[in-house]
Structure 1
């Protein structure tokens, strides 16, 4: 039973998404919502993110929408270090602050500002240790920051009942085509 799922994936800029009006966001959010609905049927209680911009923030927006129908659904933001939003623009900082303020649980793992990449490694280990599954928006053809988390989750899944769920470019393409068809009907 999947009670706690980590959701991660590309950062917005890795997908070439630089504003909230990008049509790709709706496609990614539909894919995430579909996955979350399936997981909710299987007993999902917690969504866990590290608060990075992109897939993780869109996932929380999906959680907000789903909480109307599934009020028991909670989310945690577990950041690798303090003030990860310090260099973001004002709009992105505001969204981040809202995500943090509405979270059911928040913590910064290292309790200090960014020092080195080891903080990301420790965050990944912690997230995997404290969840039942990873839902990753990732495509093997287009490497990016999620590959390290995926590698760790794949190793864990080999030796335990940890679940590695993914949304691939093909999945997104099918959703885009469905959404396009719906617009023409």
Structure 2
């Protein structure tokens, strides 16, 4: 399953300590857990900050309970993180060390948007489904991924799980209900 979605800045998340991170990770964990019950073995992400990196952390945290679950970081191009701030590079490097597999789709550094389209095609062709955190009312970079996935699904058997704002709001409500129950115990 390919998992992608909003970047950190699109979610107005600028620190890992932001409370939204814990809520989003809980929603991702619930959604991934449902797919594990259906036989999910591999999760592929692209390595962007935000949903993709949170997904790596979630999958790695689930490995004790689901040792068969694996995560791959498939980067669009070589030197993917070179323009990032030093602290983001360090966090990215630590995540890369935790994944089961990491490679680049293009062995060149960024040269054109075609590399990103090639990466999308790779992700679609090497997965059976996509889970995309995106709501059309809140446009952002995932718009291009969901459009590519929908186009691909028109020609192939491909399932798209779209985690939209309603899903996020319901997931946040469930998260806080569980948290309140745990706090009372």
The TM-score by the shorter chain falls in which range? over 0.9
Q: Which runs of 5+ in 2 are unaligned?
A: none
Task: Show structure 1 runs of 5+ residues with no match.
Answer: none
Contact 1:12 1:53 in 2 (8 A): yes
Residues 19, 154 of structure 1: alpha-carbon distance in 2 compared, 3 angstrom cutoff = same
Tell me what 1:177 maps to: 173
The two structures, once aligned, show a CA RMSD in angstroms of 1.3
Residue by residue over 1:109-146, the C-alpha shift from the partner in whole angstroms, topping out at 9 and shown as x without a partner, is 11111112111111001100010000001011011101
Q: Which moved more, 1:95-104 or 1:41-50?
A: 95-104
Instruction: Give 1:13's match in structure 2, choosing from 9, 21, 24.
Output: 9
Cα deviations across residues 77-118 of structure 1 (Å, max 9, x unaligned)? 111111111122222212211222222221111111111211
Q: Does 1:109 align with 2:105?
A: yes
Residue 82 (1) aligns with residue 85 (2): no
Among candidates 65, 69, 74, match of residue 69 of structure 1: 65
Q: Which stretch of the first structure deviates more once superposed, 95-104 or 116-125? A: 95-104
SS of alignment partner, residue 106 of structure 1? strand
| Whole-angstrom distance in 2 between the partners of 1:172 and 1:99 | 24
Residues paired across the two proteins, number:
181
